[in-house]
Amino acid sequence: MLLASPFRSLRFARAALVIGVLGACAATTALAADGTIRQWQLVKAAKGYDLALKEVAQPTPARNQVAVRVHAVSLNRRDLLMRAGNYGLGSVQEGGVPISDGAGEVIAVGPGVKRFKVGDRVAGIFFERWIDGARTADALASARGGNASGMLSEVVVGDPEGFVKIPSHLTYEEAATLPCVGVTAWDALFKRGRIEPGQFVLLEGTGGVSVMGLQLAAAAGAKPIITSSSDEKLNRARKLGTFGTVNYKTNPEWQKEVRTLTGGVGVNQVLEVGGQDTLPKALQALAFDGNIAMIGGLSGFASNVPAGQLLGLGAQVTGIYVGSRADFEALNAFIAKHKIKPIVDRVFEFKDAPAAFAAMEEGEFFGKIVIRL
């Protein structure tokens, strides 16, 4: 394994324009002809991990494996926590490749592969071995960018069962946003929440899960209400079919405003990403028999179970941890049917991956941050 050389002008001189499926042009870099690829790795630092750009031999698929030329990855909060060495569920290995979510093109198939052919447009599933049905400990131990190798690599190889075809109307950048937040929002609303048209859906903040949840809820004929600390972001959300918006920063009692927007009945579904600061307020905004999907802890994880409140409301609280490949395929079918375009706020070049991590840390984005490879 070689350290990335700063004198790689030959490789960069061969930067090529690739024509996307829809005829749109996306700048991408050609692979080197010397049999190496570039990938970012996590290397141990005094605190957590640093990102290091490395050159490694291009992997070739063995029997029952595919090789995928990754064209785009998207960042999740988990990727920051992994890098900081602070993620509670699973951990990275020294030299591990970060980032769970990526999309690209199949460039080679090993003997025995029937699921894909060269040229297929695919995305990696979040848990490489969670195909369908109930989760297992083994499936949960196969999360990309954690226990399993991630997608921030020009080429990845793996079991074809760990990939899905992506909807044809999506660019690679858009498709790369789906494996984690897309499947999470899908599971929360459709599988656990059993969303129905006309229901009120509460989305907290305008990050990846919430904006995708907003788009899915709107497409399902529900009435999404979204909060944000920024009026400008709320303006952007209005263009995606929101029923109502509330600024949680200027209106600390935002849950009252949310309830008022529902005519007093409360929201039927909550994608609970805020954690300890938001859960008590979300409960105050919840309708009888409402569903709270426990997803995240942006303000820290809540610890007290408000038993009396849950009982009185008849509330359903469901823990969500992304989902299976079958869930991803169901999401893709819905996205294709409704021609949903996931919101990509900013695209960084591969060489600027650390800047993409920094931008995610700063929080000045709406929807998703993507890196193009």
Ligand X SMILES: NC(=O)c1ccc[n+]([C@@H]2O[C@H](COP(=O)([O-])OP(=O)(O)OC[C@H]3O[C@@H](n4cnc5c(N)ncnc54)[C@H](OP(=O)(O)O)[C@@H]3O)[C@@H](O)[C@H]2O)c1
Residues forming contacts to ligand X in the complex (CB under 6 A) are: 76-78, 180-181, 184, 204-210, 228-230, 233, 248, 273-274, 277-278, 295-299, 320-322, 363
* Nearest residue (CB) to ligand X, 233 versus 325: 233
* Nearest residue (CB) to ligand X, 49 versus 186: 186
Residue from 39, 58, 6 nearest 353 by CA: 39
* Nearest residue (CB) to ligand X, 193 versus 274: 274
* Nearest residue (CB) to ligand X, 153 versus 177: 177
CB of 348 to ligand X, least distance (A): 15
Question: From start to end of the chain, where are the E strands?
Answer: 2-3, 15-19, 25-29, 36-44, 49-57, 66-74, 101-109, 121-124, 155-158, 163-165, 200-203, 223-228, 244-247, 267-272, 286-294, 316-319, 344-349, 368-372
CB of 36 to ligand X, least distance (A): 32
Rounded CA separation 165/123 (Å): 6
Rounded CA separation 102/208 (Å): 15
* Nearest residue (CB) to ligand X, 119 versus 319: 319
Instruction: Pull the structure tokens for residue 23.
Output: 């005829």
Question: From start to end of 231-350, where are the E strands?
Answer: 244-247, 267-272, 286-294, 316-319, 344-349
* Nearest residue (CB) to ligand X, 109 versus 282: 282
CB of 172 to ligand X, least distance (A): 19
Residues 6+ apart with CB under 8 A from 362: none
CB of 368 to ligand X, least distance (A): 7
CB of 321 to ligand X, least distance (A): 5
CB of 116 to ligand X, least distance (A): 26
* Nearest residue (CB) to ligand X, 36 versus 348: 348
Instruction: Pull the structure tokens for residue 300.
Output: 């820290």
* Nearest residue (CB) to ligand X, 160 versus 207: 207
CB of 344 to ligand X, least distance (A): 12
Rounded CA separation 114/98 (Å): 28
Rounded CA separation 70/121 (Å): 10
Q: Are the beta carbons of 316 and 339 closer than 8 angstroms? A: no
Other CB atoms within a 10 A radius of the CB of residue 359 amount to 17
CB of 153 to ligand X, least distance (A): 21
SS3 170: coil
SS3 319: strand
Closest residue to ligand X using C-beta atoms: 207
CA distances from 334 to 16, 217, 262, 319 (A): 33, 11, 26, 22
